[in-house]
Structure 1
Amino acid sequence: MITKIRYYGLWLPLFAICSVAQAQNSSLNIKPAGTQNVVFGAAENFTGRVMVEPLFQADKDINTSAAYVTFEPGARSAWHTHPTGQRLIVISGTGLTQIEGHLIQTIRPGDVVFCPPQVKHWHGATPNSIMTHLAVTGIADGKGVEWMEKVTDEQYQAH
């Protein structure tokens, strides 16, 4: 008699389940919270103090990277684009973001911002609040961002 087990709605012989499990990676890779090196954003790409905590880099399994990015009050990125786009999930604080030629928008905890591919934009904290977001960035040809000129004080204060 062959033992069967229900697997995602299908009744399969037990040996089929074992074969599926063996074909998949059999171990998890866990990087404990707080074990990544926090770095400061490069002065040529940011105005003010910005801390970046990388979470993972793109690899053969997933072509995206992710990091927590914390902007101190008034800090912001330079204008930039992403070859395949970026998703920002605001974790805490209040921030600002703008697509070139559009009005500045306020972003708050829980907001998800989609930065379309090749669209010039910036993001950062408001003048009176720290803001942290989770940035998930697509990678193309080994590159996730194209940095441009800094956002001027006049552009930033236009909100």
Structure 2
Amino acid sequence: MSDFEQIFPLGEKNEVFAQYFVGQSYLAPLTKDSVITNNVTFEPACRNNWHIHHKGGQILLCTAGIGWFQEEGKPAQVLKPGDVVNITAGVKHWHGASKDSWFSHVAIAVPAEGASNEWLEPVSDEEYSRL
């Protein structure tokens, strides 16, 4: 992590959502009122499970390192600092670090009444190794 510089705090080990991640991630809440915003940092090869944001969706502001984002049925796309990902509500997807780089993004939960996350199956090692 010595050459990995980020602008937001690393935060604590992501114990709350650890069951929905392969590998170690860290969570630093940035805001909690009206719009929930977190800095999420992934160690190399860490990724979250496939999931769906029901109502509202999510915005990712990539701030450090190299990562991946994939919507179901589409090719994975490389993420780098400065990239913005708008995730429409109801779209199955995952995101995480590349195999050899730490990765951070600010995750913004788009406010919507009745918004929720549905956590699904992990991204398999086989799927991930093809990237």
Structure 1 length as normaliser, TM-score? 0.70
Letter in 1 for 2:51: H
From 36, 40, 43, the equivalent of 2:14 is 40
Between stretches 135-144 and 41-50, larger displacement belongs to 135-144
From 41, 58, 73, the equivalent of 1:70 is 41
**Residues 56 and 39 of structure 1: CA distance in aligned 2, closer, same or farther (over 3 Å):** farther
Gapped regions of structure 1 (runs ≥ 5): 1-32
From 66, 83, 87, the equivalent of 2:59 is 87
CA-CA distance at 1:143 after TM superposition: 4.2
CA-CA distance at 1:90 after TM superposition: 0.6
Aligned length: 122
Letter in 1 for 2:14: F
2:98 match: 126
Kindly indicate whether the alpha-carbon contact (under 8 Å) linking 1:138 and 1:144 is maintained by their aligned counterparts in 2. Answer: no
Structure 2 residue matching 1:124: 3-state secondary structure: strand
Kindly indicate whether the alpha-carbon contact (under 8 Å) linking 1:82 and 1:138 is maintained by their aligned counterparts in 2. Answer: no
Gapped regions of structure 2 (runs ≥ 5): 1-7
From 78, 98, 108, the equivalent of 1:106 is 78
1:148 match: 120
Distance in 2 (CA, whole Å) between partners of 1:68 and 1:87 is 12
Structure 2 length as normaliser, TM-score? 0.84
Which structure would you say has the larger Rg?
Answer: 1
CA-CA distance at 1:40 after TM superposition: 1.4
Q: Deviations over 1:21-70 (max 9, x none)?
A: xxxxxxxxxxxx86xx634153321000000111122x4xx3x2100000
Among the aligned pairs, what percent are the same residue? 40
Kindly indicate whether the alpha-carbon contact (under 8 Å) linking 2:18 and 2:25 is maintained by their aligned counterparts in 1. Answer: no
